Structure 1
Amino acid sequence: MWWFVNLAIFHLLGFLLLVPTLPIQAMTHHHNFVVADTPYSRLCSNKSILTVNGQFPGPTIYVTEGDTIVIDVINRARENITIHWHGVNQPRYPWSDGPEYITQCPIQPGSMFNQRIVLSVEVGTLWWHAHSDWSRATVHGALIVYPRKKNDYPFPIPHAEIPIILGEWWKSDIQAVLNEFLQNGGDPNNSDAFLINGQPGDLYPCSRQGLISPLHFFDEI
């Protein structure tokens, strides 16, 4: 009788091995990116900067490995714009990759472009940014791609997750900074401040005191 039991177990194991593993259902995330000039104040002065949805830095996108992102990029600014998804392979949608006049034509003022970002093997913290001249100085944000398997990190599970975006701020209009160094053939003027998540540090004038010290983020962990 034992051979019958062993045979039954063998058939059961064979059946389990032949049943394909059900794939994890990928999701499609829909977003609107409205690009427009927005008044912002930093370092005790005001100027208009290019933003996405009025945010600086722009919105953080949270997805899972293998997902698809569909974004309607609506250009309400006075200049051309494209959005590049830095670190994403884009194997089937190269025309949504973002480099202006290389993989796609720019999105002209008053127009809209439906951008499709197909994630494949990407996992981790990436970023998206404008890819027209220096508009990326203010048009950028984080892209967080979680692994398919929950908590499947290639390192111990962190105690907290805090995206940190580093940037620079010029008191002058960013287009004026670009035009100046293109005309003289030199380097751009040094920025007036370094930024962490869109804010200057505590030692800069008119900063939000006690909020954006470089070490403040790690105090929260």
Structure 2
Amino acid sequence: MGSQKQAFILLSVLSFFNFLLLSGADDVYYEFILQETEFTKLCSTKTVLTVNGSFPGPEIRARRDDTVYVNVHNQGRFAVSIVWEGIRDSINGVNELIQPGRNFTYEIELDDEIGTLWWHARSAWAKATVYGAFVILPAAGEEYPFPAPTSDHAIILGEWFRQELTESVVPGQPDAYAINGHLGESYGCNDTSYQLQVDYQGLYLLRLINAVANETMVFAIAQHSLTIVGQNASYAQRSFSNSLTLAPGQTVDVLLSASQNVGQYYITARSSSSGRLNTTGILYYTTSTGF
């Protein structure tokens, strides 16, 4: 009897530690370098503020319940602060400006957020180029409440201005829209197009973010239906649509089933209020359907 009790206690202890291993949260660290970077778009070159030299900035990835530390070094000319959209817990120092030549570490404690959020500079002039995706994956041992995707991709809808933006220049109407920093072929300046590679019969989780400041954007992929599974870092009841309308700052997670004939299909993003400007990308299949 005693040996059975000991075995039960041992099994309980092992199960407890196994639970801790499966559900344990981690500390995740990122280094952000704010710096001036030259880009050539719309047939001209200008200097913009970036993070780590990229536009959009780097993607943050963590799991539910993790704590994320982001050390921001400001090597630009003006003071900047970063906004962490949709994080439910308060973040120390979020309203403080990081002066040129200084750094600040944000500590972001994740709770029940799941899916896609984003971060960006607070000032309107810097927000035009300083932003990126914040992807929150299920905790260890958790699964998605929908079929597991082949892979996932953040797709950020942004804007581009011909003029150089500084703290003394307030952005007006954009001169172009962008998909992950690519303006596409719509503007006649040989700007590159965003390309999304898929395999036939693959299932892809697309993390859509509208980083355009003052415009509702319409997103679509020709001949493909999208299944909505999440919005603003929460799971959503599944629904289906051929196009999506995203308010400024909104994030939507969708499943894309790559079930069309092999070929290339336009990805489009346009303002809902004006047909004057739009941008295009390309979805292309890499394997044959046998047709």
Q: Which TM-score tier does this pair reach, normalised by the shorter chain?
A: 0.7 to 0.9
- Which structure 2 residues correspond to residues 175-214 of structure 1 after superposition, within 5 A? 175=166, 178-179=169-170, 189-209=172-192, 211-212=194-195, 214=267
Counterpart of 2:284?
219
Task: Specify the code of the residue in structure 2 equivalent to 1:137.
Answer: A
CA contact (8 A) 1:199 1:207 kept: no
CA contact (8 A) 1:41 1:47 kept: yes
Q: 1: distance between equivalents of 2:189 and 2:113?
A: 39
- Tell me if 1:22 matches 2:13: no
Bigger proportion of residues as strand:
2
Could you say if the C-alpha distance between residues 189 and 44 of structure 1 is closer, same or farther in structure 2, counting changes exceeding 3 Å?
same
Percent of residue pairs identical = 35
Counterpart of 1:157?
148
Q: Secondary structure at the match of 2:36?
A: strand
Query: Which residues of structure 2 form unaligned runs of 5+?
Result: 196-265, 269-280, 287-291
Question: What's the CA shift for 1:121?
Answer: 1.1
Q: 1: distance between equivalents of 2:185 and 2:67?
A: 39
Question: What's the CA shift for 1:191?
Answer: 1.0
CA RMSD of aligned residues (A): 2.9
CA contact (8 A) 1:162 1:217 kept: no
Q: 1: distance between equivalents of 2:167 and 2:70?
A: 30
Question: What's the CA shift for 1:205?
Answer: 2.4
Q: 1: distance between equivalents of 2:29 and 2:163?
A: 35
Question: What's the CA shift for 1:210?
Answer: 5.6
Q: Secondary structure at the match of 2:154?
A: coil
Q: 2: distance between equivalents of 1:209 and 1:72?
A: 31
| 1:143-188 per-position Cα deviation (integer Å, ceiling 9, x unaligned) | 1111014561132222331110000001012338944xxxxxxxx6
Q: 1: distance between equivalents of 2:282 and 2:7?
A: 53
Bigger proportion of residues as helix:
1
Q: 2: distance between equivalents of 1:127 and 1:72?
A: 16
Could you say if the C-alpha distance between residues 177 and 109 of structure 1 is closer, same or farther in structure 2, counting changes exceeding 3 Å?
closer
Q: 2: distance between equivalents of 1:81 and 1:42?
A: 24
Q: Secondary structure at the match of 1:219?
A: strand
Give the counterpart of 1:119 among 110, 128, 133: 110
Q: Secondary structure at the match of 2:34?
A: strand
Could you say if the C-alpha distance between residues 88 and 114 of structure 1 is closer, same or farther in structure 2, counting changes exceeding 3 Å?
same
CA contact (8 A) 2:184 2:193 kept: no
Could you say if the C-alpha distance between residues 67 and 217 of structure 1 is closer, same or farther in structure 2, counting changes exceeding 3 Å?
farther
Q: How many residues align?
A: 198
TM-score w.r.t. length of structure 1? 0.77
| 1:15-37 per-position Cα deviation (integer Å, ceiling 9, x unaligned) | 97797543622111222111011
